[in-house]
Amino acid sequence: MAITVEAVYENGVLRPSQALPFKEHQKVQVTVQGAPEVEPALEAVERGYGLLKWTGDPEILRRIAEDDEFGILESP
């Protein structure tokens, strides 16, 4: 089972922001990735504004824009 949760790193320990569905002492495998910085992401949006000549449904475009599959972190 794979899940994604936010956590805060404090005093050398990762503290998840919500309860995790694991049993006490259950071994898990952890991959850690820092959260993207908001300012650079906003700057990228501002630089790219107007490049996409979208004439379709704005709701579909919003869902595509917010989908992690198409995020900058997924680029090779």
d(CA 53, CA 23) in angstroms, rounded, equals 50
Please state, rounded to an integer, the average pLDDT across all residues of the chain: 83
30-41 pLDDT per residue, tens? 998 887 777 777
pLDDT at 1 over 90: no
Predicted TM-score (pTM) of the model is 0.42
- The pLDDT, as a whole number, for residue 27 is 95
pLDDT at 68 over 90: no
Every domain of the chain and the residues it spans: 7-74
Residue 30 Rama label (left phi>0; alpha psi -120 to 50; beta) = beta
